[in-house]
Amino acid sequence: MISVLGLVLIILLACQIVSCAFFPRKNNVCNKIPDYATLFINDKNCWYNPDVRSSMEEILKRNGYRAEKHKVTTEDGYILTMFRIPATFPADPVSQGRPILIQHGIGGTGVFWILQGQNSLAFFLSRNGYDVWLSTTRGGTYSNRHERLTTADPEYWNYSFHEHGIYDLPAMTTYISKITGRKGDITYIGHSMGTTMSYIYSILRKKHAEEHLNGIISFAPVAYTRNVKGLYRFLSPFADTLVHLLNGIGIYAIGDLPIYSKIISTLCGTYPSVIFCELSVALTSGLSVEEERPDLLPVFGSYFPAGTSLKLIQHFSQCINAGYLQFYDYGDQNIVKYNATKPPIYDLNAISVPVHLFVGQKDFIGNVEDSETLFRQLKSNRVPTSMSFYNYAHNDFFLGRNFENLYSQLLKTIRML
């Protein structure tokens, strides 16, 4: 299966290279999928987007935002980078320059929150007087260093979202509290896996979370996974076997080489492979036709997937198979690791930080049914919580077309924390 897929990608990429050589182009994004077929003759529905393959610093500068680059080291030696965008305007009496930490999902980086130009979430919050911090978890672009390991070491990739929750988040929130002097006043916004790691943080580092966060806002929340649909549901039963095979040939991560972004952005920006790109996104995350943005596919492909461990993807697949959030399953080694034959379940009853859920009605992963189960669980814990719905697929929270309702409700929620 892998060899066939690899062959298809190689053939498609070769076709793009040949096409570009004979039909040089100035534009690189198009308004609709069929427009990519006429991209080489500078179709009027296509244009040049400089954000394709730009650095995070270049995008920030291009949009006129001042940013700071901060390094923080976790307890287990990973060196993470956060980009800080201070409030653009003097803080009003409501925002008061409150720090907001925004966390991406699997295979992402902090750049996801600035890909929409001036309509991007990070810029919107900055304009509204908030102190915005964009994080990238271990393994991803800007956060791929360690005190003693390199990404060539298999040990470097021996982590999952469990470690994101118990190491990465405590390190980042401690640092933000120290720099801003706003301990206990950090608002956390997570997307997808970014929500999962915040729940693990709140459960296993409960006191730390209570001391540093005033609330958790979850875009596309992932805790219960019984109703996950699409490719993840189809492939999850085979994840353990597939990861074992890849580890056997020395592959422990995906997306950790720059060539990935070059290949994917090329495939997602040229006809006919852009159809394959669009289909892949739809089959994994769902599709909301009203929110569809074909012009952002090459931009998204420039940064996805960023480096992440196969163990993390395997762990997520194990949770899909189980239907709920559980510790990593080591199989026969569970007795040694947990003194039990099965991995423990993360106790959602232990969450005491307020949690507010923002759910996409077309989302295959953080879907309505599982989100409602989580909402009922949190309410039974007497945790302050709310839930609102949007006509979004999984990635539309940062790649969609319409943000007015989302941003309006987001501000209301932040202001009541």
Which residues are catalytic, by number?
192, 363, 394
Q: Which CA distances in Å does 159 have to 162, 186, 240, 314? A: 7, 26, 15, 11
What span, in angstroms and rounded, lies between the C-alpha atoms of 110 and 102?
A: 8
The separation between CA 285 and the C-alpha centre of its own chain, rounded to angstroms, equals 12
Contacts for 128 with CB less than 8 Å, ≥ 6 apart: 92, 95, 411
What span, in angstroms and rounded, lies between the C-alpha atoms of 272 and 277?
A: 9
- Checking phi first, is residue 250 left (phi over 0); if not, alpha (psi -120 to 50) or beta? left
Instruction: Say whether 330 sits in a helix, a strand or coil.
Output: coil
Q: Indicate the pairing of strand 99-103 with strand 131-135.
A: parallel
DSSP 222-256: -S--TT--SHHHHHGGGHHHHHHHHHHTT--EES-
Instruction: Say whether 266 sits in a helix, a strand or coil.
Output: helix
What span, in angstroms and rounded, lies between the C-alpha atoms of 123 and 87?
A: 9
Instruction: Say whether 41 sits in a helix, a strand or coil.
Output: helix
- 255-263: Cβ within 8 A, 24+ apart: 255/107, 255/304, 255/305, 255/306, 255/307, 255/308, 256/139, 256/144, 256/151, 256/306, 256/307, 260/305, 261/53, 261/301, 261/302, 261/303, 261/304, 262/53, 263/9, 263/13
DSSP 99-133: EEEEE--TT--GGGGGTTGGGSHHHHHHHTT-EEE
Residue 142: both structure tokens together? 């800007």
